[in-house]
Amino acid sequence: MKQYVALIGGVSGAVGTALARELSLRKEWKVYGFARREPEIILEGVNYFQLDLNDREKCIEGLSKLVDVTHVFYCGRATHAEQVLESPEDNLRLLDNLLNGIELAAENLRHIHLVQGGKYYGVEELGLWLKFVIFVVRVRQRVIM
Helices (H), ranges, the chain: 14-24, 56-63, 88-105, 126-144
Under a CB-based contact definition with an 8 Å cutoff, are residues 75 and 98 in contact?
no
Task: Report helix angle 88-105 to 126-144, nearest 10.
Answer: 20
Tallying the residues shown for the chain, one arrives at 145
**pLDDT tens profile 10-43:** 999 888 999 999 999 999 999 999 998 888 889 9
Q: Which helix (H) or strand (E) holds 111?
A: strand 111-114
Whether the model pTM is above 0.85? no
Which range of residues forms the domain containing residue 139?
A: 4-144
CATH number of the domain residue 16 falls in: 3.40.50.720
Number of domains present in the structure of the chain: 1
**∠ Cα 58 17 29 (to 5°):** 85
What average pLDDT does range 129-144 have in this prediction? 55
